[in-house]
Structure 1
Amino acid sequence: MEAASGPHFSGLRIDGGAASPSASPRFSSAPGTACPSPVASFAPAYSSPSKRPQPFLIGVSGGTASGKTTVCDMIIQQLHDHRVVLVSQDSFYRGLRTEELQRVHEYNFDHPDAFDTDQLLDCIRKLKSGQCYQVPVYDFKTHQRCSDSFRQVNAADVIILEGILVFHDPRVRDLMNMKIFVDTDADVRLARRIRRDTVERGRDIDSVLEQYAKFVKPAFDDFIWPSKKYADVIIPRGGDNHVAIDLIVQHIRTKLGQHDLCKIYPNVNVIQSTFQIRGMHTLIRDRDISKHDFIFYSDRLIRLVVEHGLGHLPFTEKQVVTPTGSVYTGVDFCKKLCGVSIIRSGESMENALRACCKGIKIGKILIHRDGDNGKQLIYEKLPKDISERHVLLLDPVLATGNSANHAIELLIQKGVPESRIIFLNLISAPEGIHCVSKRFPTLKIVTSEIDDSLNEEFRVIPGMGEFGDRYFGTDD
Structure 2
Amino acid sequence: MEAAAGAHFSGLLPSSPSSPSSADVDSSMQHFVIGVSGGTASGKTTVCDRIIQQLHDHRVVLVSQDSFYRGLTAEESERAHDYNFDHPDAFDTEQLLECMGKLKAGQSVNVPIYDFKSHKRCSDSFRKVNASDVIILEGILVFHDQRVRDLMDMKIFVDADADVRLTRRIRRDTVERGRDIDSVLEQYGRFVKPAFDDFVLPSKKYADVIIPRGGENHVAIDLIVQHIRTKLCQHDLCKTYPNVYVIQSTLQIRGMHTLIRDRDVTISDFVFYSDRLIRLVVEHGLGHLPFTEKQIVTPTGSVYMGVDFCKKLCGVSVVRRMLSCSNNPYRKSSGESMENALRACCKGIKIGKILIHRDGDNGKQLIYHKLPNDIAERHVLLLDPVLATGNSVYQAIELLIQRGVPENRIIFLNLISAPEGIHRVCKRFPSIKIVTSEIDVALNEDFRVIPGLGEFGDRYFGTDDLLSQRFMAAV
Which TM-score applies when normalising by structure 2?
A: 0.85
Q: % of aligned pairs identical?
A: 84
Contact map agreement 2:29 2:106 (CA 8 A) in 1? no
C-alpha displacement at 1:162, in angstroms?
A: 0.8
Which residue, out of 386, 389, 400, partners 1:400? Answer: 389
Aligned residue number for residue 136 of structure 2:
160
Structure 1 residue 463: deviation in Å?
1.0
Query: What is the aligned partner in structure 2 of residue 45 from structure 1?
Result: none
* Letter aligned with residue 70 of structure 1: T
Answer yes or no: is 1:306 the counterpart of 2:295. Answer: no
Alpha-carbon distance in 2 for matches of 1:461, 1:389: 34
Change (3 A) 1:163 1:472: same
- Contact kept, 8 Å, 2:29 with 2:104, in 1: the verdict is no
The alpha-carbon distance between structure 1 residues 50 and 137, as it changes in their structure 2 partners (threshold 3 A), is closer
**Residue 456 (structure 2) pairs with residue 456 (structure 1):** no
Q: Deviations over 1:335-389 (max 9, x none)?
A: 3322211114211111111222222222222212345863111222222332332
Instruction: Tell me how far 1:247 sits from its aligned partner.
Output: 2.9
**Does 2:354 match 1:365?**
yes
Distance in 1, matches of 2:447 and 2:361, equals: 15
Determine if the alignment matches structure 1 residue 211 to structure 2 residue 187: yes
Per-residue CA shift, 1:125-148, capped at 9, x if unaligned? Answer: 111111121211111112222223
Match of residue 416, structure 2, among 394, 418, 427: 427
Runs (4+) of structure 1 exceeding 6 A deviation are none
Higher alpha-carbon deviation: 243-252 or 416-425 = 243-252
2:242 is equivalent to residue 266 of structure 1 = yes
8 Å CA contact 1:316–1:332 kept in 2: the answer is yes
Q: CA deviation at 1:174?
A: 1.4
- Structure 2 residue aligned with 1:170: 146
Q: Shift in Å at residue 298 of structure 1?
A: 0.2
Tell which deviates more after alignment, 297-306 or 361-370. Answer: 361-370
**1:21-69 deviation per Cα after TM superposition (whole angstroms, max 9, x unaligned):** xxxxxxxxxxxxxxxxxxxxxxxxxxxx989642111111122212211
User: Of 428, 437, 450, which residue of structure 2 is paired with 1:439?
Assistant: 428
Match of 1:108 in 2: 84
Match of residue 417 from structure 1: 406
Secondary structure in structure 1 of the residue aligned to 2:101: helix
1:71-470 equivalences under 5 Å are 71-343=47-319, 344-371=333-360, 374-470=363-459
Distance 2:377 2:157 in 1: 53
Q: Distance in 1 between matches of 2:412 and 2:232?
A: 23
SS of residue in 2 equivalent to 1:95: coil
* Residue type at the aligned position of 1:79: L
Q: Deviations over 1:74-106 (max 9, x none)?
A: 222222322211100111112222222222222
Aligned partner of 2:17 in structure 1 is: none
* Contact 1:340 1:365 (8 Å CA) reproduced: yes
Q: 1:243 to 1:361 in 2, by over 3 A?
A: closer
Secondary structure, aligned partner of 1:138? strand
Deviation at 1:235, TM superposition (A): 2.4
> Aligned in 2, Cα 1:91/1:373: closer, same or farther, shift over 3 Å?
closer
Quick one: which amino acid aligns to residue 422 of structure 1?
A: I
Once residues 221 and 108 of structure 1 are traced to their aligned partners in structure 2, the CA distance between those partners, rounded to angstroms, is: 14
Q: Which moved more, 1:324-333 or 1:158-167?
A: 324-333
Match of 1:46 in 2: none
Unaligned runs of 5+ in 1: 3-48
Contact 2:26 2:105 in 1 (8 A): no
Q: Distance in 1 between matches of 2:254 and 2:299?
A: 40
Identify if the C-alpha distance between structure 1 residues 319 and 215 changes in structure 2 by more than 3 Å, giving closer, same or farther: closer
RMSD: 2.2
What is the DSSP-based 3-state SS (H/G/I as helix, E as strand, rest coil) of the residue aligned with 2:437? Answer: strand
CA deviation map 1:202-221 (0-9, x unaligned):
21222222222332233223
Change (3 A) 1:237 1:455: same
1:229-250 per-residue CA deviation (whole Å, 9 max, x = no partner) reads: 3222222332233333233223
Q: Structure 2 CA distance, aligned partners of 1:328 and 1:103?
A: 66
Whether the 8 Å CA contact 1:168–1:224 is kept in 2: the answer is: yes
Question: Could you tell me which amino acid in structure 1 is paired with residue 146 of structure 2?
Answer: P
Counterpart of 1:473 in structure 2 is 462
Mapped contact 1:51–1:452 kept (Cα < 8 A) = no
Per-residue deviation, residues 408-459 of structure 1 (Å, max 9, x unmatched): 1112222222222211100111111111111112222111111111122211
Larger RCO of the pair (alpha carbons < 8 Å, separation 6+):
1
Count of residues in correspondence between the two structures: 429
1:287-342 deviations in Å (ceiling 9; x for gaps): 12111111110000011111122222233333444333444443333333222111
Note closer, same or farther for the CA distance 1:163–1:350 as it changes in structure 2 (3 Å cut).
same
